[in-house]
Amino acid sequence: MDTGPHINKFIEDTDQHDFRESSIERYSTILDMVLQGLPLGEMLHALVLLIEAQKIGTRASVLLLSDDGKRLLSGAAPNLPEEYNNAINGIEIGINAGSCGAAAYTCERMIVEDIENHPNWEKYKELPLKAGLKSCWSEPIKDSNQKVLGTFAMYYDTVKSPSEQDLYLIQEAARLASLAIERSRGMHIQRLSSKIFNSLPISLVITNEDNCVLSANPIFKSLTSTYYANLKLFDVHRFLSHSPPEMVADLFDHLSRGHAWEGELKGLRNDNDIIDIALNVTVIRDTFTQQNCFAWLITDISARKNAEKIINFQTNYDQLTGLSNRKYLFESLQAMKSSNDSVDGNKQEFSLMLMDIDHFKQINDTLGHDNGDVVLKLVAQRLLNAIPENVLIARIAADEFALVLPGKMSTESLISMFNNLTDELKKHFIVGDQDMMLSMSTGLARYPYDADNVEQILNCATQAMYNAKARGRNCLQFFNQQIQKDAERNAELHLYLKTALAQHEFELYYQPIVNPFTSQIIKAEVLLRWIHDGKFISPDEFIPIAEESGLIVQIGEWVRTQALTSILALQQRQLAIPLSINVSTIEFWTADLQQRFLAYFDAIQKQFGLDDFPYSLITLEITESLMMKQQKSINLLLTELRHRGMKISVDDFGTGYSSLSYLVNFPVDQIKIDKSFIQKITSGSRHKALIEAIVSMSRALDLSIVAEGVETQEELEFIKQQDIQAVQGYHFYRPMPQEAFFDLLAKQAQSTSTT
């Protein structure tokens, strides 16, 4: 009699019964640990061991998702090799980041039966294979909102597929891990919240709708210890009984609608102690009682209020003129900004006009400071007479006045206002037996168009006022937003430039110069590039700043050192060609700088230990403005550099408006025709004639010529007609990094040797 099927059925039922018993035991164990509030690491460690005990041959692990949701961190894996655990700790999740990385990324179970041949493990398979791990099944651990918390994985030392029971087991493990993680984090937040609640430096009390105190921190108990001794009820109406009724009514209206409220009120500490408070009330819905609860955050600001009253009384007005002072103006502007959003969402606009008396120092110097004070009083009175009642006027400096014009005003209205003010000031008056007539330089900025905070709007108006002075005084200048942007950008770049060399942010690029008839590279121009914070900063932006600050001297020396290093490297490769290096006029500006420039080459020759310094491979590119200085010392310096073997080239020739006599008398070897001339040859015969004249003149003076900025075939053909032997421009090559430039020269050399 065949009993095989019955025996198999009995074994299967027994296995399922044992599995269920084990499952219950696992749930019981983890739940017990959760209720005890044991550390998360301890619970995950126990869970891994329970799963491994259920499934012999399994080596399990728990990985936790990082706070930024991008990496997996070690949770528990007691039986995986330490080297492997360390290697995967911090691994970025992704579709091709192994089993766990993919499971966390896709939020789906990831079964990999054969690690060695699975695409998900292509980048990382050496790690598990070295540890003897050949298959990995990973289940994402999700919270109650289906958000991934981490992964639970089962590893095996053989190529292996999961059974139905295996899948149930890994899913169960993920659920238990989720329970442990969520409960652990919840308890951590609860403990942290309790500590914060009790450590707050301001009073906090939580009440229900019947004003019963549900919880209160020590500061609140101290604040109300005299008046509310039992702390069972918080009589809010009595506590706020000395506050403005309309504000208290607004407070309770907000709370009745479930809205938060904040403001400054009066609080009753006891019958004889009224304090100023800052009150912030938040409405919290209690899901257990289905009632609203209220969190009252109370700050005693009595000391600050008293100090403000004293300070405001003493400092808000100018004693000489009776006008508001700078502080009051600033606070008023800040208040306007704080309430600048109207009901429809539009900002409350205003204009700020700064007026500075022209030549006031001369008045003080000639009439004396006492009479100068009289002038200031008269100006203040005349300004008051000429402005509408809604305009705030302040004296914010010795002879500087500010007017705040509320609302949106047209340009015509603002100009009309200025004209009225100046007409009033132009009226004659006598001070110190002197018949006087005043004028003022005025700058105007508009909020929010020119700036969106008080400091900036003041700065904008001040800058506009300085522009008015620069334009001859006695006029009105509107702020130009571009001026401010340029100033801020320049200040920012100047700050970064100071550390650019130390931070290795500079790099040299090379633009080949070619023979237009053979297309052979015959030399190259060295170009400075600045990469800050991963972005290229245009030389047009940072070179003027470097020149103005004097940093260009150090930067120029760095450029020449790097260029020389390139020359030596090319010599070693038998690829040497001349390099043109731009030199700022600032580096020749004084006799000391000229001596430093020459001393640099002596020092660098000694530093590199060169007996035969490659001067002949260096061309220094200067600008026409240097020729216009006509200093004998500059001529001597350039003559010495040429004597050593260097070439001197005049860059961007034709744009500096220099005299031809400068070119005749200056020690130069080459001119570079500026690209602005090259790119206009298609505009007409006169532009072509200009280039032909430059070429003819250069050849008469025995100067070599480089045409820069050649970008089109038509431009190239014209240059070739002039028999110019050196061309630079995008038609042939753009500037390139050193490695690309070296490779280009190597290919050219190889091509030449082949032919």
Question: How far apart, in whole angstroms, are the C-alpha atoms of residue 652 and residue 622?
Answer: 9
The chain-wide mean pLDDT, for the chain, equals 86
What pLDDT does residue 425 have?
87
Q: Which of 219-233, 526-540, 683-697, 718-732 has the lowest mean pLDDT?
A: 219-233
User: Shortest CA distance to 155 belongs to which of 130, 143, 141, 137?
Assistant: 137
Beta carbons within 10 angstroms of residue 755's beta carbon = 5
Report angle CA 679, 684, 685 to the nearest 5 degrees. 110
Q: Judge whether 156 lies within some domain.
A: yes
pLDDT beyond 60 at 252 = yes
Question: How far apart, in whole angstroms, are the C-alpha atoms of residue 265 and residue 240?
Answer: 7
Decide if 143 contacts 178 (C-beta within 8 A).
yes
What pLDDT does residue 40 have?
84
What pLDDT does residue 343 have?
41
Q: Are residues 115 and 163 in the same domain?
A: yes
Question: Amino acid letter at 477?
Answer: Q
pLDDT beyond 50 at 518 = yes
List, in order, residues 6 or more apart from 170 with CB less than 8 Å away: 51, 109, 137, 139, 152, 154, 162
pLDDT beyond 60 at 12 = no
pLDDT tier, 530 (very low <50, low <70, confident <90, very high otherwise): very high
Question: How far apart, in whole angstroms, are the C-alpha atoms of residue 704 and residue 715?
Answer: 19
Decide if 293 contacts 208 (C-beta within 8 A).
yes
pLDDT beyond 80 at 499 = yes
- 626-644: burial string, b at 16+ Cβ within 10 Å, e else: bbeeeeeebeebbeebbee
Q: Which residues pair with 63 in a beta bridge?
A: 74, 151
Residue 515's SS3 state is coil
Decide if 698 contacts 678 (C-beta within 8 A).
no
List, in order, residues 6 or more apart from 236 with CB less than 8 Å away: 207, 211, 296
User: Shortest CA distance to 32 belongs to which of 53, 50, 56?
Assistant: 50
18: DSSP letter: H
Question: How far apart, in whole angstroms, are the C-alpha atoms of residue 364 and residue 361?
Answer: 5
Q: Are residues 172 and 264 in the same domain?
A: no
- 244-275: burial string, b at 16+ Cβ within 10 Å, e else: eeeebeebeebbeeeeebebebbbbbeeeeeb
Decide if 465 contacts 479 (C-beta within 8 A).
no
pLDDT tier, 433 (very low <50, low <70, confident <90, very high otherwise): confident
pLDDT beyond 70 at 508 = yes
Reduced DSSP (H G I as helix, E B as strand, rest coil) percent helix, strand, coil of the chain, to 5: 50, 25, 30
Domain of residue 589 covers: 496-663+725-754
What pLDDT does residue 345 have?
53
What pLDDT does residue 224 have?
63
562, exposed or middle or buried, with CB in 10 Å at 0-12, 13-18, 19+? middle
What pLDDT does residue 346 have?
60
Residues in the chain: 755
What pLDDT does residue 225 have?
54
What pLDDT does residue 302 have?
87
What pLDDT does residue 432 have?
82
Per residue in 179-191, pLDDT tens? 888 877 767 666 6
Q: Which residues pair with 400 in a beta bridge?
A: 356, 397
What pLDDT does residue 155 have?
94
Decide if 615 contacts 645 (C-beta within 8 A).
yes
pLDDT beyond 80 at 584 = yes
Per residue in 358-401, pLDDT tens? 888 878 877 888 999 999 999 999 999 999 989 999 999 989 99
Q: CA gyration radius for the chain?
A: 41
Per residue in 616-659, pLDDT tens? 999 999 987 777 665 688 888 999 999 999 999 998 776 655 55
Residue 709: C-alpha distances to residues 529, 619, 731, 732 (Å): 18, 19, 8, 10
CA end-to-end span of the chain, whole Å?
A: 94
What pLDDT does residue 230 have?
59
Q: Are residues 240 and 376 in the same domain?
A: no
Per residue in 317-360, pLDDT tens? 888 998 999 989 998 998 888 876 544 556 678 999 999 998 88
Q: Judge whether 691 lies within some domain.
A: no
Q: Judge whether 694 lies within some domain.
A: no
- Catalytic residue numbers read 708
Q: Which residues pair with 403 in a beta bridge?
A: 353, 393
Per residue in 435-480, pLDDT tens? 888 889 999 999 988 888 889 899 899 888 987 886 788 999 999 8
**Tokens 């000489």 map to which residue?**
320
pLDDT beyond 80 at 730 = yes
Per residue in 109-168, pLDDT tens? 999 999 999 999 998 889 899 989 999 999 999 988 889 999 999 999 999 999 888 888
Q: Judge whether 362 lies within some domain.
A: yes
- Domain CATH number, residue 95: 3.30.450.40
Question: How far apart, in whole angstroms, are the C-alpha atoms of residue 610 and residue 195?
Answer: 71
What pLDDT does residue 416 have?
92
- Domain CATH number, residue 574: 3.20.20.450
Q: Judge whether 616 lies within some domain.
A: yes
Decide if 477 contacts 464 (C-beta within 8 A).
yes
- Domain CATH number, residue 221: 3.30.450.20
Q: Can you say whether the dihedral through the CA atoms of 284, 286, 287, 290 is positive or negative?
A: negative
Q: Judge whether 154 lies within some domain.
A: yes
Question: How far apart, in whole angstroms, are the C-alpha atoms of residue 624 and residue 673?
Answer: 12
Q: Are residues 570 and 623 in the same domain?
A: yes
**Structure tokens given for 454:** 């008080």
Domain stops at, among 246, 281, 306: 306
Beta strands in 243-334 (DSSP E): 261-270, 273-286, 291-300
What pLDDT does residue 14 have?
43
Q: Are residues 36 and 140 in the same domain?
A: yes
User: Shortest CA distance to 296 belongs to which of 417, 232, 203?
Assistant: 203
What pLDDT does residue 4 have?
43
Q: Judge whether 684 lies within some domain.
A: no
Question: How far apart, in whole angstroms, are the C-alpha atoms of residue 150 and residue 66?
Answer: 8
Quote the number of domains for the chain.
4
> Considering the chain, what percentage of its residues have pLDDT values greater than 70?
88
Q: What is the pTM of this model?
A: 0.46
Q: Judge whether 534 lies within some domain.
A: yes
**Tokens 């052979």 map to which residue?**
520
Residue 673's SS3 state is strand
Question: How far apart, in whole angstroms, are the C-alpha atoms of residue 643 and residue 215?
Answer: 90
Decide if 604 contacts 561 (C-beta within 8 A).
yes
Q: Are residues 515 and 391 in the same domain?
A: no
Residue 498's SS3 state is helix
How much is the average pLDDT of 282-292? 80
pLDDT tier, 235 (very low <50, low <70, confident <90, very high otherwise): confident
What pLDDT does residue 228 have?
52
Decide if 425 contacts 439 (C-beta within 8 A).
yes
- pLDDT higher at 406 or 34: 406
What pLDDT does residue 684 have?
81
526: DSSP letter: E
What pLDDT does residue 703 have?
92
Domain stops at, among 192, 212, 229: 192
pLDDT tier, 679 (very low <50, low <70, confident <90, very high otherwise): confident
User: Shortest CA distance to 102 belongs to which of 88, 81, 83?
Assistant: 88
Residue 581's SS3 state is strand
User: Shortest CA distance to 160 belongs to which of 135, 138, 137?
Assistant: 135
Question: How far apart, in whole angstroms, are the C-alpha atoms of residue 729 and residue 525?
Answer: 11
Q: Are residues 103 and 156 in the same domain?
A: yes
Q: Are residues 358 and 300 in the same domain?
A: no
- Domain CATH number, residue 388: 3.30.70.270
User: Shortest CA distance to 509 belongs to which of 744, 677, 748?
Assistant: 744
Domain stops at, among 192, 226, 257: 192
How much is the average pLDDT of 490-513? 93
What pLDDT does residue 707 have?
93
Q: Which of 114-118, 158-162, 192-196, 587-591 has the lowest mean pLDDT?
A: 192-196
Question: How far apart, in whole angstroms, are the C-alpha atoms of residue 364 and residue 376?
Answer: 11
Q: Are residues 75 and 147 in the same domain?
A: yes
Q: Are residues 514 and 376 in the same domain?
A: no
Full DSSP string of 130-184: HTT--EEEEEEEE-TTS-EEEEEEEEESS-----HHHHHHHHHHHHHHHHHHHHH
Q: Are residues 636 and 516 in the same domain?
A: yes
Q: Are residues 119 and 205 in the same domain?
A: no
What is the 3-class SS of 675-718, one letter each residue? Answer: HHHHCCHHHCHHHHHHHHHHHHHHHHCCCEEEEECCCCHHHHHH
